[in-house]
Amino acid sequence: MKNLPNLLTWARILLIPLVMGVFYLPDSWLSPFMQNLTACVIFTVAAITDWLDGYLARRMEVTSAFGAFLDPVADKLMVGAALVMLVQLDRCDAIIAFIIIGREITISALREWMAKVGASKSVAVSYIGKLKTAAQMVAIPMLLFHNDLLGLPIALIGQVLIVLAAALTIWSMAYYLRRAAPELARH
């Protein structure tokens, strides 16, 4: 039971190819609507496991260095794969995907380096980073679903949110780089 949070993280990683794979199934297996719905549901389940694994690790007091490493890797793989798929489906502009994925790579590398120089607290997750994550985790399922729902233009709302996520991505990257600037200047 103490490995449940890490098992959920591994499950999230295993769900990534399923989100992408449904779009490669023949229409005779899944209609385009069902492909959109299935990908949206799988991504949403994966996003929920992201929240749940952290909650359970803290609640059960079974946090680990491996879990702390694996969780953000799973998040970045999940978001990156979904964004690449959305670009391929012409539901997300490539520059938006590049901004979000590029920021994730940059900040991951910055955090790793800051940890090596003993200053990891200065680039700990911030409120703006959490807002960015929330915006993209709502936008991506909407863009995967891409159909109107109860009269709401889900694709349009998803487009607005992914642009907001990109803006928050730039803002949060600037925030983290500014926080790391004293260490960067020293080295």
pLDDT at 93 over 90: yes
For 19-38, the DSSP string reads HHHGGGS-TTTS-HHHHHHH
Among 99, 121, 126, which Cα is nearest to 111's? 121
pLDDT at 161: 97
Q: Is the pLDDT of residue 125 over 80?
A: no
The predicted model gives 24-52 an average pLDDT of 94
> Is residue 1 very low, low, confident or very high in pLDDT (cuts 50, 70, 90)?
low
CATH code of the domain in which 117 resides = 1.20.120.1760
Percent of the chain with pLDDT over 70: 96
CA-atom Rg of the chain in angstroms: 18
| pLDDT the model gives residue 55 | 84
Compute the distance between CA of residue 107 and CA of residue 130 in angstroms, rounded to an integer.
14
- Name the pTM for this structure: 0.89
Dist CA 172 CA 29 (whole Å) = 41
Residue 124's pLDDT band (cuts 50, 70, 90) = low
pLDDT for residue 72: 85
Question: What was the pLDDT predicted at 4?
Answer: 87
Mean pLDDT over residues 123-132, rounded?
A: 80
Name every residue whose Cβ is closer than 8 Å to that of residue 122 and which is 6 or more positions away in sequence.
Answer: 114, 179, 180, 182, 183
| CB crowding 40-68: b at 16 or more within 10 Å, else e | bebbbebbebbebbbebbeeeeeeeeebe
Q: What is the pLDDT of residue 2?
A: 67
Reported as type and span, the H/E element at residue 48 is helix 32-59
- Total of domains in the chain: 1
Half-sphere exposure of 178 (CA within 13 A, CB side): 7
Q: Which domain holds residue 152?
A: 4-186
Predicted confidence at residue 182, as pLDDT, reads 82
**Each residue of 136-177: pLDDT tens digit?**
999 999 999 999 999 999 999 999 999 999 999 999 899 888
* Residue 170, pLDDT score: 94
